[in-house]
Amino acid sequence: MQTESIVLAPFEAHHVRGALALSRAAGWAHRREDWEMIRSLSEGRVALTGDRVVGTALMTPFGDTCSAINMIIVDESQRGRGLGRKLTTAVLGLAGERECRLTATNDGLPLYEKLGFVATHQIFRHQGIAGKAGAPENVEWIGPDALPAVKALDRTAFGADRDALYNALAKEGSFAAIRKGDHIVAFAATRLFGKGQVVGPVVAENSEQARDLLAFILSSKEGRIVRVDIPEQTGLSSPLEDWGLRREGTVIAMVRGAAGQSETPAVQTFCLASQAIG
């Protein structure tokens, strides 16, 4: 019996249905809407056998300096044949000279190390039914007019231009913020994701502000499924567990071609938009 050949092709809108089937088979939480949002921000490649999608990979550019390599999935029937490496190599080519960031499972770690990625830290996934959290008085909901300030804070924390991502987040969800005088100094975003909702990004000057932002948003989501992804160094696991969001998994943040920062930024990212895009 002849094995059907596999070809790589640009990831286009009509491939989302096949990509969604792959992610569901892999146990991922993504809805069609989640795929469509990230695809709209990205370039990518699909692996096809005939018209069937058997692999995916995306490169999400953040300006000309940085990118996220994400949504790398290979159909179970095609694993062990080097397809994951081919897809990843293809989207690394799309990234050009940009710094590349991704998150890896322990199984994927050896491949990404061979492709030049270096592990930097762990990311913890917290998820569960949100319990009771008090709403701090120093946090407020903000509207679209505050988006330029939010983008500027994220640019400082993340180290790259993610304006397109924030335009998408503004359409999909809501933002809360902490002000000092007339200036926004910390913010959090929330939107629908998977079977529930996600909180992130959270960008703040310190962990106290980050906790206040989380408490404020979770106070409006009591009884709902909520997910939060945090870098290990933020120290937010304990309060998240107190609010009913158990730590359910860990992935490894990796980087390739890191430019580095000359000094510590005034704000940092305490919760991610998602594991895929940081």
Q: Look at the pTM and tell me if it is higher than 0.75.
A: yes
Domains 7-97 and 126-271 share a fold: yes
Average pLDDT value over all residues in the chain: 95
For the chain, the structural domain boundaries read: 7-97, 126-271
* Tens digit of each residue's pLDDT (9 = 90 or more) over 88-101: 999 999 999 999 99
CA 34 centroid distance within chain: 11
What is the chain's percent helix, strand, coil content, to nearest 5? 30, 35, 30
pLDDT grade, residue 10 (50/70/90)?
Answer: very high
pLDDT for position 179: 98
- The verdict on domain 126-271 having CATH code 2.30.40.10 is no
* Tens digit of each residue's pLDDT (9 = 90 or more) over 202-239: 999 999 999 999 999 999 999 999 999 999 999 999 99
Instruction: Give residue 230's identity as a one-letter amino acid code.
Output: I
pLDDT for position 264: 85
Least confident of 68-72, 179-183, 258-262, 266-270: 258-262
* Tens digit of each residue's pLDDT (9 = 90 or more) over 37-89: 999 999 999 999 999 999 999 999 999 999 999 999 999 999 889 999 999 99
pLDDT for position 2: 40
CA triple 237-239-243, angle to 5 deg: 110
Distances in whole angstroms, Cα of residue 39 to Cα of each of 35, 169, 205, 231: 6, 14, 31, 24
All residues at 6 or more sequence positions from 153 whose CB lies less than 8 Å from its CB, including other chains? 184, 185, 186, 187, 203, 267
Distance separating the N- and C-terminal Cα atoms of the chain: 44
Q: What are phi and psi of 268, to 5 degrees?
A: -140, 165
Helix (H) / strand (E) containing 67 = strand 66-74
CA distance 35 to 55: 14
Distances in whole angstroms, Cα of residue 166 to Cα of each of 37, 175, 176, 185, 210: 11, 10, 13, 17, 19
Q: What are phi and psi of 218, to 5 degrees?
A: -65, -25
Task: Kindly calculate the radius of gyration of the chain based on its CA atoms and give it in whole angstroms.
Answer: 19
pLDDT for position 263: 78
Distances in whole angstroms, Cα of residue 205 to Cα of each of 163, 177, 187: 20, 12, 10
**7-97 to CATH, choices 3.30.1540.10, 2.70.70.10, 3.20.20.70, 3.40.630.30:** 3.40.630.30
CA distance 215 to 71: 30
CA distance 70 to 51: 22
CA distance 278 to 158: 8
Return the DSSP state at 95: H
pLDDT for position 258: 83
